[in-house]
Amino acid sequence: MNQIGMSGLQMSEYINELLESYGINSRLSLYLTTGIMIVLIIVISTLLYVAAKKILLKVQSGLAARSKSKWSDILINNKVLERLIRIVPAITVHAFAPTFPAYQIIIQRLVFCYIVFVILLTLDKFLDTADDLYQTFEVSKVRPIKGYLQVVKIIAYVIGTIIVIGVLLNRSPWILLGSIGAASAVLLLVFQNSILGFVAGIQLTSNNMLQIGDWIEMPKYGADGEVTELSLHTVKIRNWDNTITTIPTYAMVTESFKNWKGMQEAGGRRIKRSICIDMTSIRFCDEEMLQKYSRIQYISEYLEKKHNEIQEYNKQNGIDPVNMVNGRHLTNIGTFRAYIDSYLKHHPKVHKGMTCMARQLEPTDNGLPIEIYVFINDTAWANYETAQADIFDHIMAVIPEFDLRIFQNPTGYDFRKNLNQLY
Protein backbone atom coordinates (compact mmCIF):
# COMPACT_ATOMS: atom_id res chain seq x y z
CA MET A 1 0.00 0.00 0.00
CA ASN A 2 2.92 2.36 0.76
CA GLN A 3 4.30 1.63 -2.71
CA ILE A 4 0.90 2.51 -4.23
CA GLY A 5 0.89 5.73 -2.22
CA MET A 6 4.39 6.63 -3.36
CA SER A 7 3.46 5.81 -6.96
CA GLY A 8 0.43 8.04 -6.64
CA LEU A 9 2.57 10.83 -5.24
CA GLN A 10 5.07 10.44 -8.10
CA MET A 11 2.23 10.45 -10.61
CA SER A 12 0.84 13.62 -9.02
CA GLU A 13 4.24 15.30 -9.26
CA TYR A 14 4.60 14.20 -12.87
CA ILE A 15 1.17 15.61 -13.82
CA ASN A 16 1.97 18.86 -12.02
CA GLU A 17 5.29 19.21 -13.85
CA LEU A 18 3.62 18.38 -17.15
CA LEU A 19 0.98 21.08 -16.66
CA GLU A 20 3.59 23.64 -15.72
CA SER A 21 5.55 22.74 -18.84
CA TYR A 22 2.51 23.87 -20.87
CA GLY A 23 2.76 27.30 -19.29
CA ILE A 24 0.10 26.89 -16.60
CA ASN A 25 0.99 28.77 -13.43
CA SER A 26 1.95 26.71 -10.40
CA ARG A 27 -1.17 27.56 -8.32
CA LEU A 28 -3.63 26.57 -11.04
CA SER A 29 -1.46 23.58 -11.91
CA LEU A 30 -1.69 22.39 -8.31
CA TYR A 31 -5.53 22.61 -8.34
CA LEU A 32 -5.76 20.82 -11.68
CA THR A 33 -3.39 18.08 -10.52
CA THR A 34 -5.45 17.54 -7.39
CA GLY A 35 -8.67 17.35 -9.44
CA ILE A 36 -7.13 14.93 -11.94
CA MET A 37 -5.84 12.68 -9.15
CA ILE A 38 -9.23 12.67 -7.41
CA VAL A 39 -10.98 11.66 -10.66
CA LEU A 40 -8.28 9.03 -11.31
CA ILE A 41 -8.65 7.56 -7.81
CA ILE A 42 -12.46 7.45 -8.20
CA VAL A 43 -12.15 5.66 -11.55
CA ILE A 44 -9.61 3.14 -10.21
CA SER A 45 -11.72 2.49 -7.09
CA THR A 46 -14.87 2.00 -9.16
CA LEU A 47 -13.15 -0.36 -11.61
CA LEU A 48 -11.63 -2.42 -8.79
CA TYR A 49 -15.00 -2.56 -7.01
CA VAL A 50 -16.86 -3.71 -10.15
CA ALA A 51 -14.16 -6.27 -10.98
CA ALA A 52 -14.03 -7.65 -7.44
CA LYS A 53 -17.82 -7.83 -7.26
CA LYS A 54 -18.12 -9.59 -10.58
CA ILE A 55 -15.33 -12.10 -9.97
CA LEU A 56 -15.96 -12.90 -6.31
CA LEU A 57 -19.73 -13.19 -6.64
CA LYS A 58 -19.32 -15.44 -9.68
CA VAL A 59 -16.94 -17.67 -7.74
CA GLN A 60 -19.35 -17.73 -4.82
CA SER A 61 -22.28 -18.69 -7.05
CA GLY A 62 -20.23 -21.48 -8.61
CA LEU A 63 -19.27 -22.88 -5.23
CA ALA A 64 -22.88 -22.67 -4.05
CA ALA A 65 -24.09 -24.55 -7.14
CA ARG A 66 -21.66 -27.40 -6.46
CA SER A 67 -22.27 -27.46 -2.72
CA LYS A 68 -25.15 -29.40 -1.14
CA SER A 69 -25.01 -27.27 2.01
CA LYS A 70 -27.64 -24.60 2.66
CA TRP A 71 -24.96 -22.36 4.16
CA SER A 72 -23.71 -20.98 0.84
CA ASP A 73 -27.24 -20.34 -0.46
CA ILE A 74 -28.16 -18.39 2.69
CA LEU A 75 -24.93 -16.37 2.41
CA ILE A 76 -25.90 -15.41 -1.15
CA ASN A 77 -29.47 -14.52 -0.20
CA ASN A 78 -28.28 -12.31 2.67
CA LYS A 79 -25.64 -10.66 0.43
CA VAL A 80 -22.86 -11.03 3.00
CA LEU A 81 -19.99 -11.06 0.49
CA GLU A 82 -21.61 -8.20 -1.42
CA ARG A 83 -21.36 -6.02 1.69
CA LEU A 84 -17.76 -7.03 2.37
CA ILE A 85 -16.71 -6.11 -1.19
CA ARG A 86 -17.56 -2.48 -0.36
CA ILE A 87 -14.21 -2.37 1.45
CA VAL A 88 -12.33 -2.54 -1.87
CA PRO A 89 -12.85 1.15 -2.86
CA ALA A 90 -11.98 2.21 0.69
CA ILE A 91 -8.72 0.26 0.61
CA THR A 92 -7.89 1.89 -2.74
CA VAL A 93 -8.52 5.39 -1.36
CA HIS A 94 -6.48 4.54 1.76
CA ALA A 95 -3.59 3.38 -0.42
CA PHE A 96 -3.63 6.59 -2.48
CA ALA A 97 -3.87 8.86 0.59
CA PRO A 98 -0.11 9.76 0.48
CA THR A 99 -0.86 11.43 -2.85
CA PHE A 100 -2.27 14.30 -0.76
CA PRO A 101 0.37 14.79 1.98
CA ALA A 102 -1.47 17.69 3.64
CA TYR A 103 -4.64 15.61 4.10
CA GLN A 104 -3.13 12.13 4.27
CA ILE A 105 -3.84 11.51 7.97
CA ILE A 106 -7.40 12.84 7.81
CA ILE A 107 -8.18 10.77 4.70
CA GLN A 108 -6.74 7.59 6.21
CA ARG A 109 -8.63 8.08 9.45
CA LEU A 110 -11.95 8.66 7.69
CA VAL A 111 -11.38 5.70 5.38
CA PHE A 112 -10.45 3.49 8.34
CA CYS A 113 -13.69 4.48 10.08
CA TYR A 114 -15.61 3.60 6.92
CA ILE A 115 -13.89 0.19 6.77
CA VAL A 116 -14.84 -0.49 10.41
CA PHE A 117 -18.43 0.51 9.59
CA VAL A 118 -18.56 -1.87 6.60
CA ILE A 119 -17.08 -4.71 8.69
CA LEU A 120 -19.75 -4.16 11.34
CA LEU A 121 -22.52 -4.24 8.73
CA THR A 122 -21.02 -7.41 7.23
CA LEU A 123 -20.78 -9.03 10.66
CA ASP A 124 -24.41 -8.07 11.27
CA LYS A 125 -25.51 -9.85 8.09
CA PHE A 126 -23.23 -12.80 8.81
CA LEU A 127 -24.88 -13.31 12.21
CA ASP A 128 -28.30 -13.07 10.54
CA THR A 129 -27.11 -15.76 8.14
CA ALA A 130 -26.04 -17.95 11.06
CA ASP A 131 -29.48 -17.54 12.61
CA ASP A 132 -31.24 -18.34 9.31
CA LEU A 133 -29.16 -21.51 8.97
CA TYR A 134 -29.82 -22.48 12.58
CA GLN A 135 -33.57 -22.08 12.04
CA THR A 136 -33.47 -24.87 9.46
CA PHE A 137 -32.89 -27.31 12.33
CA GLU A 138 -35.70 -28.47 14.64
CA VAL A 139 -33.67 -27.56 17.73
CA SER A 140 -34.11 -23.86 16.83
CA LYS A 141 -37.74 -24.03 18.02
CA VAL A 142 -36.63 -25.28 21.43
CA ARG A 143 -33.40 -23.28 21.79
CA PRO A 144 -33.53 -20.09 19.67
CA ILE A 145 -30.25 -18.18 19.45
CA LYS A 146 -31.45 -14.88 17.99
CA GLY A 147 -31.28 -13.15 21.38
CA TYR A 148 -27.68 -14.25 21.93
CA LEU A 149 -26.68 -13.13 18.43
CA GLN A 150 -28.22 -9.73 19.11
CA VAL A 151 -26.04 -9.47 22.22
CA VAL A 152 -22.99 -10.21 20.04
CA LYS A 153 -24.14 -7.49 17.62
CA ILE A 154 -24.47 -4.94 20.43
CA ILE A 155 -21.00 -5.78 21.75
CA ALA A 156 -19.55 -5.55 18.23
CA TYR A 157 -21.18 -2.17 17.57
CA VAL A 158 -19.99 -0.84 20.94
CA ILE A 159 -16.42 -1.96 20.25
CA GLY A 160 -16.60 -0.59 16.70
CA THR A 161 -17.89 2.76 17.95
CA ILE A 162 -15.07 2.96 20.51
CA ILE A 163 -12.49 2.21 17.81
CA VAL A 164 -13.94 4.83 15.46
CA ILE A 165 -14.03 7.50 18.19
CA GLY A 166 -10.49 6.58 19.22
CA VAL A 167 -9.23 6.91 15.64
CA LEU A 168 -11.01 10.24 15.03
CA LEU A 169 -9.76 11.71 18.31
CA ASN A 170 -6.35 10.09 17.96
CA ARG A 171 -6.75 8.49 21.37
CA SER A 172 -6.10 4.94 22.48
CA PRO A 173 -9.27 2.79 22.58
CA TRP A 174 -8.10 1.48 25.97
CA ILE A 175 -8.38 4.95 27.45
CA LEU A 176 -11.94 5.22 26.12
CA LEU A 177 -12.74 1.80 27.56
CA GLY A 178 -11.50 3.03 30.93
CA SER A 179 -13.78 6.04 30.67
CA ILE A 180 -16.71 3.75 29.84
CA GLY A 181 -15.89 1.64 32.90
CA ALA A 182 -16.17 4.77 35.02
CA ALA A 183 -19.55 5.51 33.44
CA SER A 184 -20.84 1.94 33.95
CA ALA A 185 -23.90 3.18 35.86
CA VAL A 186 -24.96 5.25 32.84
CA LEU A 187 -24.32 2.29 30.55
CA LEU A 188 -26.46 0.02 32.73
CA LEU A 189 -29.26 2.55 32.42
CA VAL A 190 -28.85 2.84 28.64
CA PHE A 191 -28.72 -0.93 28.10
CA GLN A 192 -31.24 -1.80 30.80
CA ASN A 193 -33.76 -3.37 28.40
CA SER A 194 -31.02 -5.30 26.61
CA ILE A 195 -29.69 -6.74 29.87
CA LEU A 196 -33.18 -7.64 31.09
CA GLY A 197 -34.01 -9.20 27.72
CA PHE A 198 -30.78 -11.21 27.68
CA VAL A 199 -31.35 -12.62 31.18
CA ALA A 200 -35.02 -13.34 30.38
CA GLY A 201 -34.03 -15.12 27.17
CA ILE A 202 -31.69 -17.40 29.09
CA GLN A 203 -34.43 -18.20 31.62
CA LEU A 204 -37.03 -18.88 28.93
CA THR A 205 -34.82 -21.26 26.97
CA SER A 206 -33.08 -22.99 29.88
CA ASN A 207 -36.39 -23.66 31.69
CA ASN A 208 -38.17 -24.58 28.43
CA MET A 209 -40.89 -22.02 29.18
CA LEU A 210 -41.37 -20.82 25.63
CA GLN A 211 -40.53 -22.05 22.14
CA ILE A 212 -41.08 -20.95 18.56
CA GLY A 213 -44.47 -22.26 17.44
CA ASP A 214 -46.04 -22.37 20.93
CA TRP A 215 -49.61 -21.17 21.30
CA ILE A 216 -49.77 -18.71 24.19
CA GLU A 217 -52.32 -16.37 25.75
CA MET A 218 -51.39 -13.12 27.50
CA PRO A 219 -54.59 -11.05 27.93
CA LYS A 220 -52.75 -8.03 29.36
CA TYR A 221 -51.07 -7.48 25.98
CA GLY A 222 -53.99 -8.76 23.89
CA ALA A 223 -51.92 -11.75 22.75
CA ASP A 224 -53.57 -15.01 21.74
CA GLY A 225 -51.72 -16.89 19.05
CA GLU A 226 -48.51 -18.55 17.93
CA VAL A 227 -44.98 -17.42 18.87
CA THR A 228 -43.12 -16.55 15.66
CA GLU A 229 -39.96 -14.91 16.99
CA LEU A 230 -37.89 -14.86 20.19
CA SER A 231 -35.31 -12.06 20.18
CA LEU A 232 -33.29 -10.09 22.69
CA HIS A 233 -35.86 -7.38 23.25
CA THR A 234 -39.18 -8.73 22.01
CA VAL A 235 -41.33 -11.81 21.56
CA LYS A 236 -43.51 -11.67 18.45
CA ILE A 237 -46.88 -13.44 18.47
CA ARG A 238 -49.11 -13.88 15.44
CA ASN A 239 -52.64 -13.80 16.80
CA TRP A 240 -55.38 -15.95 15.30
CA ASP A 241 -56.83 -12.87 13.57
CA ASN A 242 -53.41 -12.49 11.83
CA THR A 243 -52.45 -9.38 13.80
CA ILE A 244 -48.99 -9.23 15.39
CA THR A 245 -48.48 -8.58 19.10
CA THR A 246 -45.01 -7.62 20.32
CA ILE A 247 -44.21 -8.23 23.99
CA PRO A 248 -40.97 -7.31 25.83
CA THR A 249 -38.94 -10.46 26.44
CA TYR A 250 -38.50 -9.73 30.14
CA ALA A 251 -42.30 -9.49 30.54
CA MET A 252 -42.53 -13.20 29.72
CA VAL A 253 -40.61 -13.90 32.93
CA THR A 254 -41.97 -11.19 35.24
CA GLU A 255 -45.63 -11.69 34.26
CA SER A 256 -47.85 -14.74 33.78
CA PHE A 257 -48.99 -16.21 30.49
CA LYS A 258 -50.79 -19.38 29.44
CA ASN A 259 -48.91 -21.81 27.21
CA TRP A 260 -51.07 -24.38 25.39
CA LYS A 261 -48.06 -26.53 24.49
CA GLY A 262 -48.95 -29.14 27.12
CA MET A 263 -52.38 -29.59 25.58
CA GLN A 264 -50.92 -29.98 22.11
CA GLU A 265 -48.30 -32.48 23.27
CA ALA A 266 -50.86 -34.51 25.23
CA GLY A 267 -53.04 -34.82 22.14
CA GLY A 268 -56.30 -33.99 23.91
CA ARG A 269 -58.17 -30.70 24.11
CA ARG A 270 -60.75 -30.24 26.84
CA ILE A 271 -64.45 -29.54 26.55
CA LYS A 272 -65.97 -28.15 29.74
CA ARG A 273 -69.43 -26.85 29.00
CA SER A 274 -72.80 -27.09 30.71
CA ILE A 275 -76.41 -27.45 29.62
CA CYS A 276 -79.01 -26.21 32.11
CA ILE A 277 -82.02 -28.49 32.59
CA ASP A 278 -85.39 -27.13 33.70
CA MET A 279 -85.77 -28.70 37.16
CA THR A 280 -89.57 -28.89 36.85
CA SER A 281 -89.09 -31.56 34.14
CA ILE A 282 -87.13 -33.91 36.42
CA ARG A 283 -89.07 -36.92 37.74
CA PHE A 284 -89.04 -40.66 38.48
CA CYS A 285 -89.29 -43.04 35.56
CA ASP A 286 -92.52 -45.03 35.21
CA GLU A 287 -92.84 -48.29 33.27
CA GLU A 288 -93.83 -46.51 30.08
CA MET A 289 -90.77 -44.28 30.23
CA LEU A 290 -88.48 -47.24 30.97
CA GLN A 291 -89.83 -49.17 28.00
CA LYS A 292 -89.22 -46.17 25.77
CA TYR A 293 -85.68 -45.62 27.09
CA SER A 294 -84.81 -49.33 26.80
CA ARG A 295 -85.05 -49.00 23.01
CA ILE A 296 -82.14 -46.51 23.07
CA GLN A 297 -79.12 -48.53 22.01
CA TYR A 298 -76.45 -46.88 24.17
CA ILE A 299 -78.29 -47.45 27.48
CA SER A 300 -80.37 -50.60 26.94
CA GLU A 301 -77.91 -52.79 28.87
CA TYR A 302 -77.48 -50.13 31.55
CA LEU A 303 -81.25 -49.88 32.10
CA GLU A 304 -81.70 -53.65 32.33
CA LYS A 305 -78.87 -54.00 34.82
CA LYS A 306 -79.96 -50.98 36.86
CA HIS A 307 -83.64 -52.02 36.86
CA ASN A 308 -82.80 -55.52 38.16
CA GLU A 309 -80.47 -54.04 40.78
CA ILE A 310 -83.16 -51.64 42.07
CA GLN A 311 -85.86 -54.31 42.14
CA GLU A 312 -83.56 -56.64 44.10
CA TYR A 313 -82.74 -53.86 46.56
CA ASN A 314 -86.39 -52.89 47.12
CA LYS A 315 -87.39 -56.54 47.53
CA GLN A 316 -84.64 -57.28 50.07
CA ASN A 317 -85.57 -54.19 52.09
CA GLY A 318 -89.35 -54.76 51.91
CA ILE A 319 -90.00 -51.51 50.10
CA ASP A 320 -93.64 -50.76 49.17
CA PRO A 321 -93.46 -49.97 45.41
CA VAL A 322 -96.89 -48.32 45.32
CA ASN A 323 -95.50 -44.93 46.33
CA MET A 324 -92.51 -43.80 44.21
CA VAL A 325 -91.03 -41.99 47.20
CA ASN A 326 -90.30 -45.33 48.85
CA GLY A 327 -87.07 -47.14 47.98
CA ARG A 328 -84.91 -46.62 44.94
CA HIS A 329 -86.14 -45.70 41.47
CA LEU A 330 -84.65 -44.57 38.21
CA THR A 331 -85.01 -40.90 37.23
CA ASN A 332 -85.06 -39.36 33.79
CA ILE A 333 -82.15 -37.05 34.67
CA GLY A 334 -80.01 -39.96 35.92
CA THR A 335 -80.85 -41.98 32.82
CA PHE A 336 -79.98 -38.97 30.68
CA ARG A 337 -76.56 -38.67 32.36
CA ALA A 338 -75.93 -42.37 31.78
CA TYR A 339 -76.80 -41.89 28.13
CA ILE A 340 -74.37 -38.96 27.78
CA ASP A 341 -71.57 -41.02 29.40
CA SER A 342 -72.16 -43.89 27.00
CA TYR A 343 -72.54 -41.58 23.99
CA LEU A 344 -69.25 -39.80 24.76
CA LYS A 345 -67.35 -43.07 25.28
CA HIS A 346 -68.51 -44.29 21.87
CA HIS A 347 -67.81 -40.99 20.09
CA PRO A 348 -64.84 -41.31 17.64
CA LYS A 349 -63.52 -37.82 18.45
CA VAL A 350 -63.36 -38.33 22.23
CA HIS A 351 -59.93 -39.17 23.68
CA LYS A 352 -60.24 -42.60 25.29
CA GLY A 353 -57.24 -42.17 27.59
CA MET A 354 -58.44 -39.00 29.32
CA THR A 355 -61.24 -38.00 31.68
CA CYS A 356 -64.71 -38.47 30.20
CA MET A 357 -67.84 -37.76 32.22
CA ALA A 358 -71.12 -35.92 32.53
CA ARG A 359 -71.73 -34.50 36.00
CA GLN A 360 -74.26 -32.45 37.88
CA LEU A 361 -73.30 -29.03 39.18
CA GLU A 362 -74.99 -27.05 41.92
CA PRO A 363 -78.52 -25.95 40.91
CA THR A 364 -78.90 -22.27 40.07
CA ASP A 365 -81.65 -19.86 39.10
CA ASN A 366 -81.14 -21.10 35.56
CA GLY A 367 -81.87 -24.72 36.37
CA LEU A 368 -79.73 -27.80 36.98
CA PRO A 369 -76.39 -27.62 35.06
CA ILE A 370 -75.23 -30.88 33.49
CA GLU A 371 -71.56 -30.37 32.69
CA ILE A 372 -69.82 -32.24 29.90
CA TYR A 373 -66.17 -32.78 30.88
CA VAL A 374 -64.31 -34.57 28.12
CA PHE A 375 -61.21 -34.31 25.90
CA ILE A 376 -61.23 -34.25 22.09
CA ASN A 377 -58.44 -36.23 20.41
CA ASP A 378 -57.81 -33.51 17.80
CA THR A 379 -56.14 -30.33 19.13
CA ALA A 380 -56.49 -28.33 15.88
CA TRP A 381 -58.81 -25.43 16.63
CA ALA A 382 -61.21 -25.85 13.70
CA ASN A 383 -61.48 -29.63 14.17
CA TYR A 384 -61.97 -29.21 17.92
CA GLU A 385 -64.78 -26.69 17.47
CA THR A 386 -66.48 -28.92 14.90
CA ALA A 387 -66.35 -31.95 17.22
CA GLN A 388 -67.61 -29.90 20.17
CA ALA A 389 -70.51 -28.51 18.13
CA ASP A 390 -71.45 -32.01 16.89
CA ILE A 391 -71.53 -33.36 20.45
CA PHE A 392 -73.73 -30.57 21.79
CA ASP A 393 -75.97 -30.57 18.71
CA HIS A 394 -76.75 -34.20 19.46
CA ILE A 395 -77.13 -33.79 23.23
CA MET A 396 -79.51 -30.84 22.95
CA ALA A 397 -81.56 -32.67 20.32
CA VAL A 398 -81.99 -35.82 22.49
CA ILE A 399 -82.95 -34.04 25.73
CA PRO A 400 -86.72 -34.10 24.93
CA GLU A 401 -86.45 -37.87 24.36
CA PHE A 402 -85.82 -38.20 28.11
CA ASP A 403 -88.86 -36.08 28.96
CA LEU A 404 -86.59 -33.21 30.02
CA ARG A 405 -86.55 -29.56 29.01
CA ILE A 406 -83.64 -27.19 28.49
CA PHE A 407 -83.92 -24.10 30.68
CA GLN A 408 -84.33 -20.91 28.70
CA ASN A 409 -85.50 -17.47 29.77
CA PRO A 410 -88.85 -16.55 28.18
CA THR A 411 -88.67 -14.72 24.85
CA GLY A 412 -91.16 -12.70 22.85
CA TYR A 413 -92.19 -15.90 21.11
CA ASP A 414 -93.15 -17.49 24.48
CA PHE A 415 -95.25 -14.49 25.47
CA ARG A 416 -97.07 -14.43 22.11
CA LYS A 417 -97.74 -18.16 22.32
CA ASN A 418 -99.26 -17.82 25.81
CA LEU A 419 -101.40 -14.88 24.72
CA ASN A 420 -102.68 -16.82 21.72
CA GLN A 421 -103.62 -19.70 24.01
CA LEU A 422 -105.52 -17.35 26.32
CA TYR A 423 -107.49 -15.73 23.52
Q: Which of 136, 167, 200 is the last residue of a domain?
A: 136
Contact 374, 350 (CB under 8 A): yes
Which residue in 189, 200, 184 sits closest to 151, CA to CA? 200
Both 305 and 415 in one domain: the answer is yes
CB 360 within 8 A of CB 265: no
Give Cβ neighbours of residue 386 (< 8 Å, ≥ 6 apart). none
Exposed / middle / buried, residue 94 (Cβ in 10 Å: 0-12, 13-18, 19+)? buried
pLDDT tens for the chain, 423 residues long, are 555 544 555 666 666 566 656 666 666 766 776 777 778 888 888 898 888 888 888 887 877 777 776 767 777 777 888 888 888 888 888 887 777 777 788 888 888 888 889 998 888 888 888 888 887 777 776 677 777 787 788 788 878 888 888 888 777 766 666 655 555 555 556 666 666 777 777 667 666 678 888 888 998 888 999 988 887 778 899 998 889 998 888 888 888 888 888 787 788 899 999 999 999 999 998 888 989 998 999 998 888 898 888 888 888 888 777 777 778 888 999 999 999 999 999 999 999 889 999 999 999 999 999 999 999 998 888 899 999 999 999 999 999 999 999 998 877 766 676 667 665
User: Is residue 23, in this structure, part of any structural domain at all?
Assistant: yes
Q: Do 254 and 279 lie in a common domain? A: no
How far apart, in whole angstroms, are the C-alpha atoms of residue 380 and residue 365? Answer: 35
Q: Is residue 367 part of a domain?
A: yes
Q: Are residues 415 and 276 in the same domain?
A: yes
- 8 A C-beta contact, residue 359 and residue 370: yes
> Which helix (H) or strand (E) segment is 177 a member of?
helix 173-182
In the chain, how many domains are there?
A: 3
The domain boundary, picked from 259, 279, 312, lies at 259
Give the Cα separation of 174 and 26 in Å (integer).
45
Strands (E) across 231-376 are located at: 234-239, 244-248, 258-259, 269-277, 357-360, 368-376
Residues paired with residue 235 on neighbouring β-strands, in sequence order: 230, 247
Whether residue 337 is contained in a domain is answered as: yes
Please state, in angstroms and rounded to a whole number, the distance separating the CA atoms of residues 276 and 270: 19
In a domain, 264, yes or no: no
Q: Which of 197, 231, 259 is the last residue of a domain?
A: 259
Structural domain span for residue 307: 269-420
Residues 283 and 168 in one domain: no
Same domain, 183 and 286: no
- Asked whether residue 221 falls in the same domain as residue 315, the answer is no
